[in-house]
Amino acid sequence: MTDRRGCPVAISVFSGDTGDATTFLPQVRKLRDAFELEQMVLVGDRGMISSASIAELRAEDFGWITALKSGQIRTLIDDGQLQLGLFDQRNLFELSHPDFPGERLVACRNPELAKLRAHKREALIAATTEELEKVRGMVARGKLKGSGEIGVRVGRGGARRHLCHRYGVAKRTMGSDDAVRNYKALSSVERAFRSLKTVDLKVRPIHHRLENRVRAHILLCMLAYYVEWHMREAWQALLFADEDQAAKATRDPVAPARRSDAADRKASSKKLEDGTPVHSFRTLLEELSTIVRNTCRVPKTDPTFPMLTIPNDLQLSARELVDKITV
């Protein structure tokens, strides 16, 4: 669980056979009680915040933001509530439907994303057609016989591919634009989880069998990511990071995210304003790793003393920025 910035707040571990939907409400209550929160708006994907969860959230006066499932969106289309013409002058609008009493529905349309998905769909159709042609040829040559064998081969080669948000928050508390922005902020949670599991900290493999040790292992990984998150925030000026974070609160919530001009200049020139190289998080850590503590001794004497290597300008800047971190 993270805050709206993506900074980790808490982590819990459950048995492997536990479904997401059954873990959600206990965590919500734990969060409310631990931090003594009077008002809460929970943001989760459609698998996490189910219809049953929403009924319980409503009963306990919690707010929520999630997305509709494909079948629910199809119902809105069949009922005429969602029509392409509604997006002629805008890319986002709010609606209601009797299937979702007391809920606000927000439909979004991103033309650039629609083009990308159309291209992927065409590529998928072409790949599926090519695979089916192979099956047809195998049937014609007698290599495949009977509906059973043909069906198994088609099923193995066929490909399948798996807009509308719902939320229960009063309009005076949160407008439609902010609801979409907050739902999109789930990407920061996913980024944190991905960093924890694979990219940076690599939680697995877990060489523990006892439950308390597994929990301790996961907690330490979360704490490590917590430190990393604050380091990344502190070093934005030295990294390929967009420092204009305030723009996120006002930009079009549906349109693709755009980097600031300053971030684009860093990315294209690979240099900061002072002409020094821009770093990734990893290369900056590598630069800092050259600071070492040596144990020294004057020739022909027994006593030793420690001596740190002299930091360069970049290392001094990184240290000063970290020293300013307030948690």
**What does each C-alpha distance from 251 to 115, 159, 297 come to in angstroms?**
21, 36, 60
- 67 touches 180 (CB < 8 A): no
| Spatial separation of the C-alpha atoms in residues 220 and 223, rounded to whole Å | 5
Q: Which of 36, 52, 40 is nearest to 182 (CA)?
A: 40
Q: Domain map of the chain by residue range?
A: 20-109+163-234, 112-157, 238-323
Report residue 96 as tokens.
Answer: 């209601």
Dihedrals phi, psi of 240, to nearest 5 degrees? -75, 55
Q: Minimal CA–CA distance to 282: which of 243, 235, 322, 319? A: 235
Low-confidence ranges of the chain (pLDDT < 70): 86, 88, 113-114, 152-163, 327
Q: What is the pLDDT of residue 160?
A: 36
pLDDT of residue 56: 86
CA–CA distance, 112 with 114 (Å, rounded to integer): 5
Distances (CA, A) of 27 to 3, 31, 54: 14, 6, 14
User: What's the pLDDT score for residue 317?
Assistant: 95
> Residue 16: what pLDDT?
80
At 153 the pLDDT is 67
Q: Give the global pTM.
A: 0.71
pLDDT tens, residue by residue, 3-34: 878 888 888 888 888 877 778 888 888 888 98
Q: How far is CA 72 from CA 10, 100, 180, in A?
A: 32, 10, 18
d(CA 25, CA 56): 8
CA pair distance 278, 290, nearest whole angstrom: 18
